[in-house]
């Protein structure tokens, strides 16, 4: 992902190489190129607008470092502004003072929540935590079984008192809020220090889904609510993120499917549009295809 954006930005910077001093026209031209590259990569329009304004202002007005040539100055500014739109600093999980820490996953169906639950639990376990996975997606066929399989792979127990829906023709029954509460009680009793709650997603944002997610969040008083978003869904990423931010007031974002070849700019806009940091990224179906998200590393990768 981001190869095309990366190529376009690199080509723009190349045009500045060898220039002794940048005129206002040079900066305008460069800003225009960057703007086009970002828009073509699907970065959300308001994010692009803000980005370009910041780059122009700094390139024209800043007391530029003497150690860098003009092309390097622009790269530096673009790099720093990219880091900004990606949420600035790396944001780590915040653990509750009194365990268990409750982490809830929310997002559309197919975003990669159940897969992420397995990865996140393995990552936490490798750091010495004792997570418990809780199966509250009672809606998607076989979601509970899939979580059990992922838990087994990760070597993490799964609390799944309700089998959930087994086929597309079945109506969802069972109360996900109760399962979540019972899961947290089980974690307390068995001294798990982290609970990861997998919740149901729909194909599109809807009120029933949002109310259910909100009810779970409130009932268990989640410490972290991670909004999981498929980076391949393009422009919809931004509107979906806004709806979930209003609906469940998530605390962080997880970008999945960054191994895909979509343009990805919309996913890059999510942090900026919602004001919530990207905390993790996922780059495949395997347990290990998972990383803490570092805005500075992602910006450097894009500008490499
Ligand atoms: P959920 O409905 O949100 O729980 O989504 P799932 O976890 O079931 O994931 C939906 C599909 O996406 C599954 O086939 C996963 O194997 C796949 N998937 C999840 N994360 C990634 C990823 O980072 N990269 C790729 N290529 N596939 C992924």
Q: Please write down the HEC assignment for all residues of the chain.
A: CCHHHHHHHHHHHHCCCCCCCCCHHHHHHHHHHHHHHHHHCCCCHHHHHHHHHHHHHHHHHCCCCCCCCHHHHHHHHHHHHHHHHCCCCCCCCCCCCCCCEEEEEECCCCCCHHHHHHHHHHHHHHCCCCEEEEEECCCCCCHHHHHHHHHHHHCCCEECCCCCCCCCCCCCCCCHHHHHHHHHHHHHHCCCCEEEEEECCCCCCCHHHHHHHHHHHHHHCCCEEEEEEEHHHCCHHHHHHHHHHHHHCCCEEEEECCCCCCCCHHHHHHHHHHCCCEEEEECCCCCCCEEECCHHHHHHHHHC
- Average pLDDT over all residues of the chain: 91
pLDDT score of 79: 93
Identify which of 252, 227, 251 has the alpha carbon closest to the alpha carbon of residue 240.
Answer: 227
Q: Could you read off the pLDDT of 163-188 as tens digits, one per residue?
A: 888 888 888 888 999 999 999 999 99
Q: Could you read off the pLDDT of 199-253 as tens digits, one per residue?
A: 998 887 788 889 999 999 999 999 999 999 998 888 888 899 999 999 999 999 9
- Alpha-carbon distances of 172 from 141, 168, 169, 176, rounded to whole Å: 9, 10, 10, 10
Pocket test for ligand 1, best of 108, 112, 164 (most atoms within 8 A of CB): 112
Q: Residue 260 C-alpha to ligand 1 middle, in angstroms?
A: 12
On the question of pLDDT at 62 being above 80, the answer is: no
Identify which of 105, 114, 104, 101 has the alpha carbon closest to the alpha carbon of residue 192.
Answer: 101
ipTM confidence: 0.99
On the question of pLDDT at 65 being above 70, the answer is: no
On the question of pLDDT at 66 being above 70, the answer is: no
**Beta-carbon count within 10 A of 150 CB:** 22
Helix 24-40 with 70-85: angle, nearest 10 deg: 40
On the question of pLDDT at 28 being above 70, the answer is: yes
Protein residue closest via CA to atom 7 of ligand 1: 112
pLDDT score of 63: 58
Q: What does the pLDDT average to over 266-292?
A: 92
Task: Tell me the pLDDT band of 113, cut-offs 50, 70 and 90.
Answer: very high
Q: Residue 82 C-alpha to ligand 1 middle, in angstroms?
A: 27
Q: For ligand 1, what atom is nearest to the CA of residue 107?
A: 3
On the question of pLDDT at 8 being above 80, the answer is: yes
Protein residue closest via CA to atom 26 of ligand 1: 284
Q: Is 17 annotated as a binding residue?
A: no
Q: For ligand 1, what atom is nearest to the CA of residue 105?
A: 3
Q: What does the pLDDT average to over 48-76?
A: 82
Q: Could you read off the pLDDT of 120-147 as tens digits, one per residue?
A: 999 999 999 999 999 999 988 899 999 9
Q: Is 107 annotated as a binding residue?
A: yes
Q: Please tell me which residue, 302 or 176, carries the higher pLDDT value.
A: 176
Q: Is 119 annotated as a binding residue?
A: no
Q: For ligand 1, what atom is nearest to the CA of residue 284?
A: 24
Q: Which residues line ligand 1 (CB under 6 A)?
A: 107, 109-115, 140, 201, 256-257, 259, 282-285, 289
- Alpha-carbon distances of 29 from 15, 19, 33, 56, 78, rounded to whole Å: 10, 14, 6, 10, 14
Q: For ligand 1, what atom is nearest to the CA of residue 117?
A: 7
Q: For ligand 1, what atom is nearest to the CA of residue 140?
A: 2
Identify which of 120, 43, 140 has the alpha carbon closest to the alpha carbon of residue 281.
Answer: 120
Q: Is 90 annotated as a binding residue?
A: no
Q: What percentage of the chain has pLDDT greater than the value 90?
A: 63
Q: Residue 69 C-alpha to ligand 1 middle, in angstroms?
A: 44
Q: Residue 256 C-alpha to ligand 1 middle, in angstroms?
A: 8
Q: Residue 46 C-alpha to ligand 1 middle, in angstroms?
A: 29
Q: Please tell me which residue, 30 or 263, carries the higher pLDDT value.
A: 30
What is the spatial distance between Cα 34 and Cα 27, in angstroms, rounded to a whole number?
A: 10
Q: Residue 159 C-alpha to ligand 1 middle, in angstroms?
A: 21
């Amino acid at each position: 992902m981001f190869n095309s954006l990366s190529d376009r930005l690199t080509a723009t910077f190349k045009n500045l190489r060898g220039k002794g001093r940048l005129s206002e026209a040079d900066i305008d031209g460069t800003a225009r190129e960057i703007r086009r590259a970002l828009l073509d990569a699907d970065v959300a329009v308001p994010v692009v607008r803000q980005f370009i304004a910041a780059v122009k202002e700094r390139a024209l007005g800043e007391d530029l470092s003497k150690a860098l040539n003009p092309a390097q100055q622009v790269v530096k500014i673009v790099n720093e502004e990219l880091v900004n739109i990606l949420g600035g600093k790396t944001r780590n999980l915040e653990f509750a003072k009194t365990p268990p820490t409750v982490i809830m996953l929310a997002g559309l169906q197919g975003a990669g929540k159940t897969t992420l639950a397995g990865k996140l639990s393995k990552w936490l376990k490798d750091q010495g935590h004792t997570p418990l996975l809780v199966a509250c997606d009672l809606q998607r066929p076989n979601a509970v079984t899939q979580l059990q399989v992922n838990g087994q792979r990760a070597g993490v127990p799964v609390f799944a008192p309700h089998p959930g829906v087994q086929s597309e023709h079945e109506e969802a029954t069972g109360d996900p809020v109760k399962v979540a509460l019972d899961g947290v009680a089980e974690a307390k009793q068995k001294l798990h220090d982290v609970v990861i709650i997998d919740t149901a997603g729909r194909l599109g944002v809807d009120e029933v889904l949002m109310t259910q997610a909100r009810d779970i969040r409130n009932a268990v008083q989640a410490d972290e609510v991670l909004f999981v978003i498929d980076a391949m869904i393009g422009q919809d990423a931004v509107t979906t993120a806004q709806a979930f931010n209003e609906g469940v007031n998530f605390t962080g974002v997880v970008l999945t499917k960054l191994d895909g070849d979509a343009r990805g700019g919309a996913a890059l806009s999510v942090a900026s549009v919602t004001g919530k940091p990207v905390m993790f990224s996922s780059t495949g179906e395997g347990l290990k295809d998972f990383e803490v998200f570092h805005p500075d590393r992602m910006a450097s990768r894009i500008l490499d």
